[in-house]
Chains A and B, each alone.
Chain A
Amino acid sequence: MSLTKTDKTIIVTIWNKIAPQADSIGTETLERLFFSYPQTKTYFPHFDLSHGSAQLHGHGTKVVNAIGDAVKSIDNISTALSKLSELHAYILRVDPVNFKLLSHTFLVTVAARFPADFTAEAHAAWDKFLSIVSSVLTEKYR
């Protein structure tokens, strides 16, 4: 699975549209994750996950900024996210199934906020992109 030129153009265009709302998109993505998939909360016993929590906001920002980093280095996601990949493999060890869940709630958030821009083509490109990001983050797991 690799990104075509068209995919990349779409991904960057959408990113530029959503970047100004990156913080709140990150928070909403995580809130949706914890509501729909409560088992994901097991990775955050040390967090206050209530609505409006500073930790939730901070972590959401971190996650979306990392997605932004991948967009900015779309031709070399592996290198751009190398440190994050190691972090997930050796320290965090989040089960790979959860990357699909997070990708899904990110797409739901974007769809809800940018209905006109989230065309079927944009949906397909971003689903692919997040799938690749997830692969990069799990590539050092074993």
Chain B
Amino acid sequence: MVHLSGEEKGYINAIWSKVSIDQTGAEALGRLLIVYPWTSRFFDHFGDLSSAKSVMGNAKVQGHGAKVLTSFGDAVKNMDNLKGTFAKLSELHCDKLHVDPENFKLLGNILVICLAEHFGKEFTPEVQAAWQKLVAGVATALAHKYH
């Protein structure tokens, strides 16, 4: 159960309001597949993921990245109830997608790095800390219904 102070929520919203969901989503998923190539095990049906160039140019990666980050937007809107918000998605990731929850942590950290890249100085240690809490909370919520 993640507890975010008013200040931390402010940091998160300030960044989120300026995020290009499609672009950042594609970037984050692409980097996940490039930095941790074993994560491609879930995306054999995406086609060519053999190089950084092919991953970043892959339309399915871009589309799916956008989908994932759009869903992340629900987290930002419901920071006080992440478990409830992601209950159905948690079941899906366990029962249908069979994704090891460790991957949620990997993607969360990749997202933080993408945000740092986009926002530079604005992504201060305090802002990062708030985001680390949020991505950890989302990872926990997505793993919550696993059995």
Contact = CB atoms under 8 A, between A and B. Distances in A.
Interface of A: 28, 31-32, 34-37, 104-105, 107-109, 111-113, 115, 118-121, 123-124, 127
Given A32-B128, A112-B123, A113-B120, A124 B52 contact: yes
Contact of A32 (B35, B52, B56, B125): B125
- The interface residues of chain B, by DSSP majority, are classed as helix
Contact of A124 (B35, B116, B120): B35
B31 A120 contact: yes
Given A108-B113, A112-B120, A35 B126 contact: yes
Given A123-B31, A123-B35, A127-B35, A35 B129 contact: yes
A4 B114 CA distance: 24
Contacts of B125: 28, 31-32, 34-36
B137 interface: no
A91 to B, nearest CB: 28
A127 B30 CA distance: 15
Nearest to A32: B125
B52 A112 contact: no
A120 B128 contact: no
